[in-house]
Structure 1
Amino acid sequence: MTAAITLEPSIRRVDDQAERDLAALAKMKPSRAEVHHVVPNLAQRADRDMAPLPLPDPLPKVPTLDAALLPDAIRDWCVDAADGLQVPLGFTAVPGVVALAAAIGRQVGVAMKRHEYWIEVPMLWGAVIGRPSAGKSPALSPARNMLCRLEGLERGAFEETMREFKARVIVAGAGKAAAKKSIAAALKKGDKSGAESAAAAALFEEEEPTEPRIVVNDATVEKLGELLNANPRGLVQFRDELSGWLANLDREGREGDRSFWLECWNGRGGYTVDRIGRGTIHIDACAMSILGGMQPGKLAEYVRGAVKGGFSDDGLIQRFQLAVYPDLPASWRYVDRQPNVEAVNVAWATFQRLRNLNPDTIGAERVDGIDVPFLRFDDEAQTMLIGWQTELMQRLRSGTESPWMESHLNKYQSLAGRLALVLHLADHDGGAINADTLVKALDWCTYLEAHARRIYAPATDNGLTAAHLIAKRRSELPDGFTSRDVQRHGWGGLTERDVIASALELLVELRHLAAETTSTSATGGRPSTTYAWRSV
């Protein structure tokens, strides 16, 4: 909904004066010529004296992130990084939580119910949203660096294992050469059984070690299938700018890729890729977290497609549950200091511990037919979760939410469990998840819901966001421009014809623009509307 607009006092005075002048004119019983003389003068005076109405703020208010919602193990690290970079805490906290989830992966899940086996694994899709100068990329780096350090450690161990494997291959090769002589000698004697025994002893069936991976950047679905089979705990896709990845998924012929990624959010389902060149790849479990940044204008265009029921209306954007679009700090200061080394070390130790979790030593249950060991909520937390879920679902079933927001919030049931598991394992060595941890997870959901409403706002504000974008381009749009001129520039958030039309109509209504429609009926063409900026 567009915000309600009220006239400023100065504008009301001009309107009141015009009304009095017209009333006086009516009492005089003027001739038609006098009316035609006076009314244009009133209009010219109103046009001269009446300032444009301010454009309402297009974005709903969002709360700042309370540092207390972060696990103790990474709180100081995230706060210190945000302060050093002069960015909102959400810009470092969301990547930190997604990175923790990626470190855990499919090693352990959480049971959402007491009796049914509804198991959630910590696959989280996160995004930090802000304009190009907001500091998104530097804010993503600390979390990414932690995962890359983990990957480096595992790669070092892999290289040693690979050297040992190659040595065994050489020995096996020499064994095969010796076996051939034994086989030949046995066959010469007519000892077929002895020849077969010699051949069996020379076989080398050990599989080659696979390189461990945690972070991927730009891999095809087929390659991701191979990587996931080699890394069954799951992977995290990191993209500095997510809009490019989303745009690729929207291309014709990439429908299969979208289906793959939709499955990846669940973290437990299998997937089969059939390709002529590569053959068939069976993926035991599609388990992918995602982390990256995005600019508001590009995001708005994508969200509009999801809201309007277009190709992108398949629930993909709703899976970005940890997407934050915070206000930038009102002030900025130059910071050049050493990072909080102790906080970094505590966070690093936590990432290492989570990467090396042993489900059996933290009290995880194993059940036949369930592919992931899991923890449970304690009784108090389970009762609290039931109450929260009931309230959420009753709200969604009431029909008061838009379809896209209903789809987004419906996934909060899974989100609450995944967040609770990550927060719990970051600060505890295992056991049941307690009520205090669940409260943090639910407070995260409240925080994230406000940001979700801000993210969807540009798609439902009747051109208000686009009007702001056009107003910012005032110097690049000389008087006499058309809607097509705006679209031709290809500016972010200003590429769709109907969005631009709504924005221009709003700017005219609020007196920022004057519109002039020229009839071209004589030439058979459509009427053309040009726009000129009114004086501020």
Structure 2
Amino acid sequence: MPLSEPDTLPASIADWPPLDRALLGETHPALPTFPLHLFPTPWRAWVEASSRLFGSADYLTHCLLGGVAAVGGAGLRIEVAAHWREPLLLWQALVGGPSSGKSASFARVRALLAAVTPHAESGDRAAPTVVFDGGLERVDTALLGSSRGVLLWRENLADWMAEANARGRRQDRRPARPAWLAGWSAGSSLVGPRPRDDFAVGIAGALSPERLAAWGEGDRALASRFLYVWPQRGAAPSLADGEADDSGLVALLQKIASLAGHRETPCVVPFDEDAARRLEALMPALQRPVDEREEPGAEGVAAEWIGRGVPTLVRLAGLLSLMEWSLSKAEWSPVRATHVEAAYELWSGYYRPHALAVFDRSEVGACEHAARRVARWLRRVRVSQISREDVRREALCQSVDVEGAEEVLARLEAVGLVRQLPPAGSSRGGPRRRRWLVHPQLAGRASEGGS
């Protein structure tokens, strides 16, 4: 095979450009860290103490915000106007590579949620009901025994996306997509032959950077409902976790859970007049396009995500309001303008740049996606030279034709990962063979710290 041909070139080659780590999927833009100053002191103190074990607070804070939403679920509605109420439901994607703390962060918050008890008269076994790696039917079954909704954790959200758009083997089996879409807004849905009112589902899950291309090829309406977190690797973890006040935080979660009603007869937390006016003033900024030069109707999942900015901000403002209220002795408290401002800072200064970074990586063309696959393959096989057929057959498993392989090689040449060699003739005649030299750091001819 071509890959086994001897390398007749020198082992050390100078004048190569720096290795493009982004094409290898090893880097992403530096993104903001979670603005912990927006959390009331006991909530912030718990995150700061607990996150030492993980090195970064982003995943943990993201999961904690989802946990606060889950104890209320559709049993709490944030009312902006008489005709507009948002349930406390969040869909959250934790983006990162293996062993980056995604599952561990959710497990840390899950331990708090397990200590929260439901209303005695509700008949619920937990507040909230948590389903691990389940599909639509398991979520639907769990929802039958939950008054406020279900929190679903998925270890691989890319698989969940594929399942959501798949149709069952039986012809009468409906795709799960419409039910999931209803779950984000606690709307009515049809699960199999059974109609469901107030189908309320919060979602949290892990998403690998290597699956972002598949995620981008999935359903835009589903992808645009998620809040994304993609932090850089944090500091070295520390075992000093003794200061985290778990019992104190469980008490705060319990207070919010006790305020929640049934999803069919929810407790309503209203905006006050100043909060409503402030939201109205912020709406033009919330709908600002990704690119200032684009029209507001720009296409793409990023535009759809921004289009859901207003209802998402309402939910975030409601969560921050409830977290503050949990520290008071008041029977209830409305959402105020300060909460709207804080939610806008959280959405625009943190969640928006993280989401756009994810969409920028996921919405790549077929050629760019294939080039990234080949780059990762080169890093794995460590060969000095490749041919077009190596790219087409070995790296891409014949998923592209000859023309597509040429486009991929041109892309790799443009970023300096390969370099075409002068065509070599054959002793038997025939077409001259074309081969490409591989970047020394990918071929193993230079140290990884070189270039």
TM-score normalised per structure 2: 0.77
Matched to 1:64, the amino acid is T
Equivalent residue number for residue 111 of structure 1 = 79
Equivalent residue number for residue 107 of structure 2 = 141
Cα distance per residue 1:279-302 (max 9 Å; x no partner): x42322110000121211113322
Classify the secondary structure of the residue corresponding to 2:115.
Answer: helix
Which residue, 211, 221, 240 being the options, matches 2:155? 240
CA distance in structure 1 between the partners assigned to 2:289 and 2:270 by the alignment: 26
Equivalent residue number for residue 317 of structure 1 = 223
Structure 1 residues 214 and 53, CA, compared in 2 at 3 Å: closer, same or farther? same
Equivalent residue number for residue 336 of structure 1 = 239
Cα distance per residue 1:445-475 (max 9 Å; x no partner): 1110100111011234566676566445435
Which residue, 63, 76, 83 being the options, matches 2:52? 83
Say yes or no: does 1:440 pair with 2:342: yes
Say yes or no: does 1:476 pair with 2:442: no
1:101-500 → structure 2 map (5 Å cutoff): 101-113=69-81, 116-150=82-116, 153-154=117-118, 211-212=125-126, 214-253=129-168, 256-267=175-186, 269-274=187-192, 280-303=193-216, 305=217, 312-320=218-226, 322-329=227-234, 331-332=235-236, 334-341=237-244, 343-357=245-259, 372-393=266-287, 395=289, 398-399=295-296, 401-428=298-325, 429=330, 430-446=332-348, 447-460=350-363, 467=371, 470-472=374-376, 473-478=378-383, 479-480=385-386, 481-488=390-397
Instruction: From the two aligned structures, give the one with the greater helix fraction.
Output: 1
CA distance in structure 2 between the partners assigned to 1:386 and 1:349 by the alignment: 34
Question: Post-superposition shift, 1:324?
Answer: 0.5
Matched to 1:251, the amino acid is A
Matched to 2:318, the amino acid is L
Cα distance per residue 1:241-293 (max 9 Å; x no partner): 323322333434375211111110011x122334xxxxx42322110000121
Equivalent residue number for residue 199 of structure 1 = none
Equivalent residue number for residue 514 of structure 1 = 419
* Contact 1:375-1:431 within 8 A present in 2 as well: yes
CA distance in structure 1 between the partners assigned to 2:233 and 2:407 by the alignment: 28
Which residue, 56, 60, 65 being the options, matches 1:97? 65
* Contact 2:213-2:364 within 8 A present in 1 as well: no
Instruction: From the two aligned structures, give the one with the greater strand fraction.
Output: 2
CA distance in structure 2 between the partners assigned to 1:339 and 1:502 by the alignment: 56
Structure 1 residues 358 and 134, CA, compared in 2 at 3 Å: closer, same or farther? closer
Cα distance per residue 1:93-141 (max 9 Å; x no partner): 110000100001122211223xx51110111001211111312221221
* Contact 1:55-1:468 within 8 A present in 2 as well: no
* Contact 2:118-2:257 within 8 A present in 1 as well: no
Runs of 5+ consecutive residues of structure 1 not aligned to the other structure: 1-43, 162-208, 275-279, 306-311, 361-369, 490-494, 520-525
Structure 1 residues 336 and 394, CA, compared in 2 at 3 Å: closer, same or farther? closer
Identical columns (%): 21
* Contact 2:212-2:362 within 8 A present in 1 as well: no
* Contact 2:166-2:176 within 8 A present in 1 as well: no
Classify the secondary structure of the residue corresponding to 1:112.
Answer: strand
Which residue, 55, 75, 79 being the options, matches 2:20? 55
CA distance in structure 1 between the partners assigned to 2:72 and 2:432 by the alignment: 61
Equivalent residue number for residue 67 of structure 1 = 36
Question: Post-superposition shift, 1:315?
Answer: 0.6
Classify the secondary structure of the residue corresponding to 1:282.
Answer: strand
* Contact 2:163-2:176 within 8 A present in 1 as well: no
CA distance in structure 2 between the partners assigned to 1:53 and 1:502 by the alignment: 22
* Contact 1:53-1:510 within 8 A present in 2 as well: no
Matched to 1:457, the amino acid is D
Classify the secondary structure of the residue corresponding to 1:356.
Answer: helix
Aligned length: 401
CA distance in structure 2 between the partners assigned to 1:460 and 1:231 by the alignment: 37
Classify the secondary structure of the residue corresponding to 2:335.
Answer: coil
Classify the secondary structure of the residue corresponding to 1:256.
Answer: coil
From the CA coordinates, give the structure whose radius of gyration is larger. Answer: 1
